[in-house]
Structures are given as C-alpha cells and as structure tokens.
Amino acid sequence: MQAMQLKHRIQELLDCAGVTIDGDRPWDIHIHDQRFYSRVLAEGSLGLGEAYMDGWWDCSALDQFIDRILRAELDKQVNPKKDWLPIVKARILNLQNTSRAFEVGKHHYDIGNDLYERMLDSRMVYSGGYWKEAQDLESAQEAKLELVCRKLGLEPGMRVLDIGCGWGGTAKFAAERYGVEVVGVTVSQEQVSYGRTFCQGLPVDIRYQDYRSLNEKFDRILSLGMFEHVGVKNYRRFMEQVRNLLVEDGFFLLHTIGRLQSGRGCEPWISKYIFPNSMLPSARQICEAFEGLFVLEDWHSFGPDYDPTLLAWYDNFTNHWEELRDTYGERFYRMWTYYLLTCAGSFRARSNQLWQLLLSPNGFQGRYDAPR
C-alpha cells in the first residue's frame, strides 16, 4: 500500500476521534517520518509509542490525543497480531512468580531516586492522589494517605503491613500521625535504601522482600499501587497470603488501578518500556480472588483523580528536566513524557479506573461508614 493510501487509512480512523494529521489544534498530530503510517497499522499501540520515542511524530497535548482516541475506541480497531503476544505469554507463563517478582523493581523503581525526588511529592508517594478538596499534588497525596488511615481505623500501638511500600512515605505518615508500627516490603533495592533513611527514628521496618515470604501477624494491612504487579495467576494466592497475615478482627485496604474488562495481558508499550510483567485487574478478577476469604466493607472508585496526579508529575518532571538531562537523555525524556501523558489521557477517558477496597476477614461488627 502506498504512503498516501496508508495516510488516508489512518486519517479515516482519526476522523472518528476528531483528530487531524498536521492540524492546528492541541490534540492534532504532526508526522515527521512517513514510515509512521505503516508502523502503526502493523504494530498498533506498541508501534505508536515507539514511533513517538523515535521522534517520528509529535503532539502538543498528548493527553488530549489519547483521551480522544480511547473514547472513540480506536485501540480496538487497530489490533495487530503482535498485541496478542503478551496475552499468550501471560496465559502460558506466570510472569509475576517469585523469581520474576523483582524484575519490575530493577527496571522501573531502581532507575534513579533523583528522578522520583523531582517528580513526586515530598513524601515520594507514587500512586494516585485524592483531589476531592486538594489544590496541588502535595495536598492530594496527604489527603489520600489520611483517607487510607481513617478507612483502616488506625490506632496507636497497632502493627501495620504495607505491601509495596515504595520509598516509605505511607509508612512514615502512619507512624507519625497515628502512632503505629509499620513493616514495609518492596522489590526495589533503591526504595529500601531511601526508605530506611527517610523513616529513621520511627518504628518503621523497610524490607527488600516479596510479600509471599512473610510469616507474621498484623492488625492492619494496606497495599497502594502494588496489585498491578501481582498478575492474575497470583491474585488468589495474594489474597490468601493477606488473610493469613491479618488478625481476625483486622482490615485490609487495597488501592489499585483497574480495567473495565477482564484480561491477562498489559498494554504492550507500557509492558515493554515502563512496567514489565504488569497487568491491570478487573472488578470481577478482584472479587473472585477474595471470594470466601474476606467480607467487602467498601469499594471506592475515584479514577478521574489520577488524571491531575499524572499531570502534576509531568509538570514536575519537565520543570526539573535540565537537572536530569545529562543522566537520562532525550530518548528517555520522550519515553517518560509519553508514559505520563498517555496514562493521564487513559484515566480521563475512563479507560483506566482507580479503586480502593476495604476488606475484613469476618465482617465488621456494626455499621461501617467509610470515610470520603
């Protein structure tokens, strides 16, 4: 197929989303390499992302572009065979087994604390904020942490487990504000090193450890933005492990990104460049995983709040880029820009969700009124 025919085919698809090739609106795309058209038609979302990294196209408002194409469901109209490879692999292999659990730590979370210090809030919280009354990233993340602690009903002296504790921001907040003792586990060595210093002097124990190797009891358990790395083959085991670690009258809070339909793979570009071996759970998959183990006390959905969180991270990243440029380079800049802005667009389009579930082993005795 000739280049003009390929361009015409792509433009026909984009017309459904109100996007024009070489148009003058913020969400219009500008093509710098004519190979873009065949690459996208052949490779779908992976080709689109890689072509952006290679500088083959640009868009002044990537988040708006992605919002529009997802709302028009163009991702379902370009579905090359390559996109099925991660799904097939996920069906055959357990991509998140114990031996692979630490891969995402090395690939993503260990790339440099200097990057995350400049991108995130002062507590280094790397999950969606709560913007109900917040005006900036700092207050949105504090509001989220306060919401989590209130939902869990933390009290002084409680022993709390943070699965996927990141750089220790949540653990420090809970220990300082609520007087609890916290054990945090992460698969990132850089997070452990940072977190131990960050939480020094507090009853906080940050460990380089997979959740499956724990064998202790906790009054409360929380997991913020880690379940996306667990994988469908391990959802039941994850819930069983949490149930074994939690006291009979305890609470477990799960904070996770979710998808609208059950699946086994991840978006190909995200899986290759950002979060290897990751996948988003559906509501059905989560419910099946905890069925017979927990009583569902509350399910809170606030996916639109991830949009301003990602935009705030993007602003911080770009505002500090000159301090990072020599370490990371221009290709990383395009990759990270694509990651943050396309994810923002996906939450705005409601393609991705953000959920907080509160679970109890035997059901809360009385009426549980979930904080909002």
Q: Decide if 176 contacts 202 (C-beta within 8 A).
A: yes
Sheet holding 204-208, edge to edge: 204-208, 181-186, 159-163, 218-224, 246-259, 352-360, 295-301
Report the alpha-carbon angle 224-185-95, nearest 5.
Answer: 75
Q: Residue 16 catalytic?
A: no
Q: State both tokens at 269.
A: 């570009």
Rg (CA), the chain: 21
Please tell me what DSSP assigns to residue 234: G
* Nearest CA-CA partner of 104 in 137, 126, 82: 126
Distance CA 319, CA 118 (A): 9
Q: Are strands 352-360 and 295-301 parallel, antiparallel or unpaired?
A: antiparallel
Helices 321-348 and 306-319 cross at an angle (nearest 10°) of 160
* Catalytic pick among 149, 199, 266, 343: 343
Type and span of the H or E element at 68? helix 62-71
Instruction: Give the CA distances from residue 145 to residues 129, 141, 148, 218, 223, in Å, rounded to whole numbers and listed in that order.
Output: 9, 6, 5, 19, 12
Distances (CA, A) of 321 to 113, 281, 308, 334: 14, 33, 20, 11
What's the full length of the chain, in residues? 372
Long-range Cβ pairs for the range 84-89 (8 Å, 24+): 85/268, 86/265, 86/266, 86/268, 86/271, 87/263, 87/264, 87/265, 89/265
CB 310 within 8 A of CB 339: no
Q: Known catalytic residues? A: 343
